[in-house]
């Protein structure tokens, strides 16, 4: 803003519309790199900033989002017993998912902007990711007003009350899902919510249950419902919008790991934890579903790649990341094996470990300091 | 070498404008400034008045807390002015230099035959005591303390730093004399760290009477603080001293010739420096004396005394710092790049992160400017900081402890071991664009205040 030097510009602090400073600044810096130069310390700075980090996470989510849209259409036409072309299928899903995105971003960004405005700070770009994640972890038929309430709750009580992105201890996207799960359980679980039927009626014999819904019936139940490793892996099964396709999630995982944005330690240890408990489950005869099959089902892969690795709410120390990831994987499968009423354990596993992450870090850091102090005494 | 210390992580900043190994000019001292702010912990008392004649080595300032510590004139001449700022804070003492330099004669002494007390006295009255930096906190050394050891870094990894072999390679004798003198002051001896890759190529490996260490690694491997943390970490209650090679040469010259001669080769570097090379100069030299190296007609150049990570923004009318033998000229990056963060490629920007593609051209050097490339945010990414800090500390925890002003946590997280310069790379890579060095500095200030 190259306005008159003596007078603050229209939207600058002290200007006529100065109260809108944060909002204007957000759009301005969205389009152009800020002109700010370093004041103290290092005179030159790395080109990377949080906008770049966040946009890469969004890009990593795009395969899952696109596949999710197609799959919504695919499940729809499957359920009503019609066949449609690729584009018609995709278009149906696109029209179903688009409103979720509009609501998610409109509500979430409004609160973010209002919050920044009140605090007089710059708008943080963290919600770009949360807003993209939320529709992907919802059942496609979730009523939009519910979504709006959930987003508002998650942004306000998950983030803003703690001071915004970077200060929150719970993953806001998961908090939105958890809010709906506990406030409106009938819309978030069971076998009727995962496939969008629209005005059409389902064909006879249509169940609509996700693979996880058959988990308690063991391997026979899963096979009888028509699920095998191949369609679980490609993702042509009912489920939350973005969580079904392991292929699409892996594409995102490759980008996140390659750019170093997500921690490979958390991803690895989460898988290890899940395999370990899955193996215990089969070894003790709790289930006959092999451990590796668990990795392909439900929200495990999506949660491991995109939710558990959220740098703000995960453990901050490198050792802590191993523990944190392992416990997420282990808890998720534990919930699946012992709670047939609510088979999707990933959401609660991550939220629970979010709350424990500071404790894990505390223990890791304290141990490191104790070790350091001990070497001094012996030296 | 069996005791080579290999440092993991770190980052060499690929910035353009390395000084060619030639001396382009010899800058005759004109007006030279003595800045109290160069000496952390100094509470200055002015000993001269405008118009006073001084010789090189005449006292100009004394420390109010410890009156034995003097700051002396680097050149002979007349006190031309005293610059004060807000609340009459003493900013600089300006000396108009004589055409022919005259020196106070402190008497040449061979350090071998001296007692610790004599070495200390010689350093104090010559003003070169201020060349010693005491850790923790990086302050003026306390003459009444016997430090655990004295550490010298024999190489520099900072961006575009002066090549010690070119700048100081023919002063090995002086450096040796400086080592011999300082060795008297500490039972722990003088530790000299060299770069393992260039061990036999450097003239400094012949220096005797030191405990030699070698390091391999990227910046900040050349930072003496990082070296100390791998040789003998500083614990609560311990005191160590550090001296730069440059200052060690000046100390040695004092003992060899009896004169305070702070003349040094200064590397003029940076992306906007024209034909970057070395000059012969003095500390306190005005930046304007380097006018052959830049064109500031647009007023868009930042004059940094020191390197691009830790130097001081001196301004065009500013002066070279006491401890510095490098000037970095940077472009003030006030241009607003359209959709900068959203572009898939930004070929002219360097990023240590793979979020950009500059890792594809590892040899490329970049014309970096002072743009922050983003707005300040809370700490979000957790693992980038320790990757560029090869020390056994948790940088983000330390930074947050400093922000919170929690003394006990600062102690636990290693405030005694670091100076702001050691975390300069953390600041460089920080995607949240926090001023980490300033945060650490304020933590150190609080420690000094509360632990006194």
Measuring CA to CA, which residue among B380, B45, B109, B120 is closest to residue A48? B380
pLDDT tens digits, residue range B158-184? 999 999 999 998 999 999 999 999 999
Percentages helix, strand, coil for chain B, rounded to the nearest 5?
30, 20, 50
Measuring CA to CA, which residue among A162, A131, A107, A108 is closest to residue A55? A131
Residue count (chain B): 452
**What residues of chain B, 60 to 79, have a C-beta less than 8 Å from chain A?**
none
B330 interface with A at CB cutoff 8 Å? yes
- In our burial notation (b when 16+ CB lie closer than 10 A, e otherwise), range B357-390 reads ebeeeeeeebbbbbbbbbbbbbbbbbbbbbbbbb
- Position B228 pLDDT exceeds 90: yes
- Position A8 pLDDT exceeds 60: no
- Position B226 pLDDT exceeds 80: yes
> Which range, of A28-42, B72-86, B163-177, B328-342, averages the lowest pLDDT?
A28-42
Of A41, A51, A126, the CB nearest to B424: A41
Cα(B417)–Cα(B399) distance, rounded to whole angstroms? 13
**Residue-level pLDDT at B1:** 46
**Residue-level pLDDT at B6:** 92
Test A53 with B430 for CB contact under 8 angstroms. no
Percent of chain A whose pLDDT exceeds 70: 86
Percent of chain B whose pLDDT exceeds 70: 99
Test A124 with B394 for CB contact under 8 angstroms. no
The model carries a pTM of: 0.90
Of A32, A33, A261, the CB nearest to B355: A261
Q: Tell me how many degrees the CA angle B74-B80-B86 measures, rounded to the nearest 5.
A: 95
Test A263 with B396 for CB contact under 8 angstroms. no
Location of structure tokens 């770069």 = B195
**Nearest 5°: phi and psi at A232?**
-70, -40
Q: How far apart are the first and last CA of chain B?
A: 42
Test A52 with B431 for CB contact under 8 angstroms. yes
Give Cα separations from A121 to A22, A112, A131 (angstroms).
Answer: 6, 11, 20
State both tokens at A130.
């949360």
- Position B81 pLDDT exceeds 70: yes
Test A317 with B394 for CB contact under 8 angstroms. yes
- Position B276 pLDDT exceeds 70: yes
Residue count (chain A): 379
Q: Do residues B137 and B402 touch, judged by C-beta distance below 8 A?
A: no
Location of structure tokens 């094996």 = A337
Test A45 with B328 for CB contact under 8 angstroms. no
Test B378 with A164 for CB contact under 8 angstroms. yes
Domains of chain B: 1-28+112-330 (no CATH), 29-97 (2.40.50.100), 395-451 (no CATH)
Q: Do residues B330 and B302 touch, judged by C-beta distance below 8 A?
A: yes
Judging contacts by C-beta atoms under 8 Å, the chain B residues touching residue A124 are 377-378
Judging contacts by C-beta atoms under 8 Å, the chain B residues touching residue A51 are 341-342, 374
**Residue-level pLDDT at B381:** 85
**What residues of chain B, 194 to 233, have a C-beta less than 8 Å from chain A?**
233
B403 interface with A at CB cutoff 8 Å? no
Measuring CA to CA, which residue among A317, A353, A312, A354 is closest to residue A126? A312
Q: Do residues B144 and B128 touch, judged by C-beta distance below 8 A?
A: no
State both tokens at B237.
């209650």
Strands B264-269 and B301-305: unpaired
- Position A269 pLDDT exceeds 90: yes
Which of the residue ranges A182-191, B104-113, B348-357 has the most confident prediction, judged by mean pLDDT? B104-113
Average pLDDT over residues B147-167: 94
Average pLDDT over residues B36-40: 94
How distant is the Cα of A122 from the closest Cα of chain B, in angstroms?
A: 8
Test A163 with B378 for CB contact under 8 angstroms. yes
Q: Between B173 and A345, whose confidence is greater?
A: B173
Q: Which residue of B has its CA nearest to A370?
A: B412
**Residue-level pLDDT at A324:** 95
Judging contacts by C-beta atoms under 8 Å, the chain A residues touching residue B382 are 311, 314, 316
Which of the residue ranges A48-57, A342-351, B41-50 has the most confident prediction, judged by mean pLDDT? B41-50
Test A166 with B373 for CB contact under 8 angstroms. no
B433 interface with A at CB cutoff 8 Å? yes
Q: Do residues A222 and A26 touch, judged by C-beta distance below 8 A?
A: no
Judging contacts by C-beta atoms under 8 Å, the chain B residues touching residue A322 are none
Q: Do residues B255 and B122 touch, judged by C-beta distance below 8 A?
A: yes
Alpha helices in B22-153 (DSSP H): 116-126
Cα(A89)–Cα(A66) distance, rounded to whole angstroms? 12
Average pLDDT over residues A235-261: 90
How distant is the Cα of B382 from the closest Cα of chain A, in angstroms?
A: 6
How distant is the Cα of B51 from the closest Cα of chain A, in angstroms?
A: 35
Q: Do residues B282 and B56 touch, judged by C-beta distance below 8 A?
A: no
Cα(B368)–Cα(B374) distance, rounded to whole angstroms? 15
Q: How many CB atoms lie within 10 A of CB A220?
A: 11
**Residue-level pLDDT at A286:** 82
Measuring CA to CA, which residue among B347, B348, B428 is closest to residue B387? B428
Segment (H or E) for A190 = none
Q: Which residue of B has its CA nearest to A49?
A: B431
Average pLDDT over residues B435-440: 94
- Position B387 pLDDT exceeds 70: yes
How distant is the Cα of A42 from the closest Cα of chain B, in angstroms?
A: 4
B376 interface with A at CB cutoff 8 Å? yes
Q: Which residue of B has its CA nearest to A365?
A: B394
Instruction: Kindly state the greatest CA–CA separation across chain A.
Output: 78
Test B328 with A365 for CB contact under 8 angstroms. no
Q: Tell me how many degrees the CA angle A299-A302-A303 measures, rounded to the nearest 5.
A: 75
Average pLDDT over residues B413-417: 92
Own/partner pairs for B109-112, CB < 8 Å, 24+ apart?
B109/B255, B109/B258, B110/B255, B111/B177, B111/B180, B111/B181, B111/B183, B111/B184, B111/B255, B112/B180
- Report the phi/psi class of residue B207: left, alpha or beta, with left for phi > 0 and alpha for psi in -120 to 50: beta
Q: Do residues A130 and A175 touch, judged by C-beta distance below 8 A?
A: no
Q: Is A202 helix (H, G, I), strand (E, B) or coil?
A: coil
Cα(B385)–Cα(B383) distance, rounded to whole angstroms? 6
pLDDT band at B355 (very low <50, low <70, confident <90, very high): confident
Location of structure tokens 């249950």 = A209
Judging contacts by C-beta atoms under 8 Å, the chain B residues touching residue A37 are 302, 332-334, 369-372
Judging contacts by C-beta atoms under 8 Å, the chain A residues touching residue B430 are 45-46
Judging contacts by C-beta atoms under 8 Å, the chain B residues touching residue A369 are 412-413
Measuring CA to CA, which residue among B403, B425, B413 is closest to residue B221? B425
Q: Is B322 helix (H, G, I), strand (E, B) or coil?
A: coil
pLDDT band at A12 (very low <50, low <70, confident <90, very high): low
- Position A378 pLDDT exceeds 80: no
Cα(A86)–Cα(A235) distance, rounded to whole angstroms? 16
Q: At what angle do helices A50-79 and A246-258 cross, to 10 degrees?
A: 170
Q: How many CB atoms lie within 10 A of CB B144?
A: 8
How distant is the Cα of B47 from the closest Cα of chain A, in angstroms?
A: 31
Test A312 with B380 for CB contact under 8 angstroms. yes
pLDDT tens digits, residue range A57-110? 999 999 999 999 999 999 888 888 888 888 999 999 999 999 999 999 999 999
Q: Do residues B271 and B19 touch, judged by C-beta distance below 8 A?
A: no
- Position B152 pLDDT exceeds 70: yes
Question: How far out from the chain centre does Cα B450 lie?
Answer: 26
Cα(B308)–Cα(B367) distance, rounded to whole angstroms? 12
- Mean pLDDT value across chain B: 91
Segment (H or E) for B241 = strand B240-244
Q: Tell me how many degrees the CA angle B91-B283-B416 measures, rounded to the nearest 5.
A: 70
Of A32, A42, A314, the CB nearest to B424: A42
Judging contacts by C-beta atoms under 8 Å, the chain A residues touching residue B340 are 32-33, 47
Strands B70-72 and B53-54: unpaired
HSE of A159, CA atoms in CB hemisphere, 13 A: 32
Judging contacts by C-beta atoms under 8 Å, the chain B residues touching residue A312 are 380
**Residue-level pLDDT at B395:** 93
**Residue-level pLDDT at A2:** 39
Location of structure tokens 């004059």 = B303
Cα(A290)–Cα(B383) distance, rounded to whole angstroms? 34
- Position A241 pLDDT exceeds 60: yes
Test A35 with B334 for CB contact under 8 angstroms. yes
Cα(A260)–Cα(A231) distance, rounded to whole angstroms? 30
**Substitution target from B382, B410, B415, B427 for chain A, most A beta carbons within 10 A:** B382
Test B373 with A48 for CB contact under 8 angstroms. yes
Measuring CA to CA, which residue among A249, A266, A262, A284 is closest to residue A327? A266
**Residue-level pLDDT at B122:** 93
Test B378 with A258 for CB contact under 8 angstroms. no
Test A122 with B437 for CB contact under 8 angstroms. no
pLDDT tens digits, residue range A112-166? 888 888 877 777 888 889 999 999 998 888 889 999 999 999 999 988 888 887 8
Q: Do residues B301 and B294 touch, judged by C-beta distance below 8 A?
A: yes
Q: Do residues A361 and A320 touch, judged by C-beta distance below 8 A?
A: yes
Cα(B391)–Cα(B242) distance, rounded to whole angstroms? 18
pLDDT band at B79 (very low <50, low <70, confident <90, very high): very high
């Amino acid at each position: 803003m190259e306005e008159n030097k003596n007078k603050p510009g229209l939207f600058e602090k002290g200007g006529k519309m100065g109260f809108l400073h944060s909002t204007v600044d957000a759009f301005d810096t969205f389009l152009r790199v800020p002109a700010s130069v370093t004041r103290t310390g290092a005179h030159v700075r790395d080109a990377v900033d949080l906008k770049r980090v966040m946009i890469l996470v969004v890009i990593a989510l795009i395969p899952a989002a696109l596949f999710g849209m197609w799959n919504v259409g695919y499940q729809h036409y499957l359920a009503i017993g019609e066949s449609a072309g690729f584009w018609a299928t995709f278009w149906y899903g696109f029209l179903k998912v688009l409103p979720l995105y509009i609501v998610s971003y409109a509500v979430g960004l409004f609160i973010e902007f209002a919050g920044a405005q009140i605090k007089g700070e710059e708008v943080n770009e963290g919600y770009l990711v949360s807003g993209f994640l939320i529709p992907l972890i919802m059942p496609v038929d979730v009523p939009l007003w519910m979504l709006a309430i959930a987003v508002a709750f998650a942004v306000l009580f998950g983030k803003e009350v703690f001071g915004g992105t970077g200060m929150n201890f719970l993953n806001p996207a998961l908090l939105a899902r958890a809010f709906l799960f506990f406030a409106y359980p009938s819309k978030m679980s069971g076998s009727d919510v995962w496939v969008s039927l629209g005005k059409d009626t389902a064909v006879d014999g249509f169940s609509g249950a996700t693979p996880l819904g058959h988990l308690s019936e063991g391997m026979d139940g899963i096979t009888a419902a028509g699920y095998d490793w191949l369609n679980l892996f490609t993702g042509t099964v009912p489920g939350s919008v973005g969580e079904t396709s392991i292929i699409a999630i892996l594409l995102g995982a490759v980008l996140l790991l390659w750019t170093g944005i997500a921690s490979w330690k958390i991803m690895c240890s989460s898988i290890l934890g899940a395999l370990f408990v899955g193996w215990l489950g089969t070894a003790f005869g709790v289930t006959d579903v092999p451990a590796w099959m668990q990795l392909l089902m439900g929200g495990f892969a999506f949660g491991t790649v995109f939710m558990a690795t959220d740098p703000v709410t995960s453990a901050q120390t490198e050792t802590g990341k191993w523990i944190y990831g392992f416990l997420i994987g282990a808890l998720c499968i534990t919930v699946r094996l012992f709670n047939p009423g609510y088979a999707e354990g990933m959401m609660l596993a991550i939220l629970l470990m979010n709350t424990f992450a500071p404790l894990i870090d505390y223990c890791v850091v304290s141990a490191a300091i104790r070790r350091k102090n001990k070497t001094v005494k012996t030296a | 070498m069996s005791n080579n210390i290999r440092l993991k992580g770190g980052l060499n900043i690929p910035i353009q404008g390395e000084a060619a190994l030639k001396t382009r000019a010899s800058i005759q001292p004109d007006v030279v400034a003595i800045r109290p702010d160069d000496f952390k912990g100094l509470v200055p008392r002015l000993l001269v008045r405008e118009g006073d004649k001084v010789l090189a080595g005449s006292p100009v300032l004394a420390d109010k807390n410890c009156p034995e510590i003097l700051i002396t004139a680097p050149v002979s001449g007349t006190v031309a002015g005293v610059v004060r700022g807000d609340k009459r804070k003493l900013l600089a003492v300006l000396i108009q230099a004589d055409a022919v330099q005259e020196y106070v004669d402190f008497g040449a002494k061979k350090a071998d035959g001296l007692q610790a007390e004599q070495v200390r006295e010689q350093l104090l009255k010559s003003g070169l005591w201020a060349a010693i930096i005491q850790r923790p906190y990086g302050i003026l050394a306390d003459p009444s303390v016997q430090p655990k050891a004295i550490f010298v870094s024999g190489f520099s990894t900072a961006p575009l730093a002066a090549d010690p072999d070119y700048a100081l390679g023919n002063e090995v004798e002086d450096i040796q004399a400086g080592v011999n003198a300082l060795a008297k002051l500490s039972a722990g001896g003088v530790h000299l760290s060299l770069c393992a890759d260039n061990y036999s190529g450097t003239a400094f490996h012949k220096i005797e009477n030191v405990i030699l260490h070698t390091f391999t690694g990227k910046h900040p491997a050349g930072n003496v603080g990082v070296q100390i943390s791998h040789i003998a970490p500083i614990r609560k209650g311990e005191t160590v001293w550090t001296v730069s090679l440059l200052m060690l040469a000046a100390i040695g010259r004092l003992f060899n010739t009896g004169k305070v001669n702070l003349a040094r080769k200064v590397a003029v570097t940076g992306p906007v420096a024209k034909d970057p090379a070395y000059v012969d100069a003095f500390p306190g030299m005005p930046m304007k004396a380097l006018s052959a190296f830049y064109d500031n007609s647009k007023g868009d150049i930042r004059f940094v005394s020191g390197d691009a990570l830790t130097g001081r923004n001196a301004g065009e009318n500013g002066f070279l710092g006491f401890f510095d033998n490098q000037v970095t000229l940077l472009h003030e990056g006030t241009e607003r790049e359209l959709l900068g963060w959203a572009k898939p490629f930004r070929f002219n920007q360097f990023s240590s992160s793979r979020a950009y593609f500059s890792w594809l051209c590892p040899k490329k050097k970049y014309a970096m400017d002072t743009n922050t490339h983003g707005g300040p945010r809370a700490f979000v990414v957790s693992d980038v900081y320790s990757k560029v800090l090869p020390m056994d500390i948790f940088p983000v925890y330390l930074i947050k402890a400093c922000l919170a002003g929690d003394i006990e946590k600062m102690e636990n997280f290693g405030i005694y071991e670091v100076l702001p310069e050691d975390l300069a790379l953390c600041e460089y890579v920080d995607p949240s664009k926090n001023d980490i060095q300033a945060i650490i500095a304020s933590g150190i200030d609080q420690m000094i205040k509360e632990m006194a």
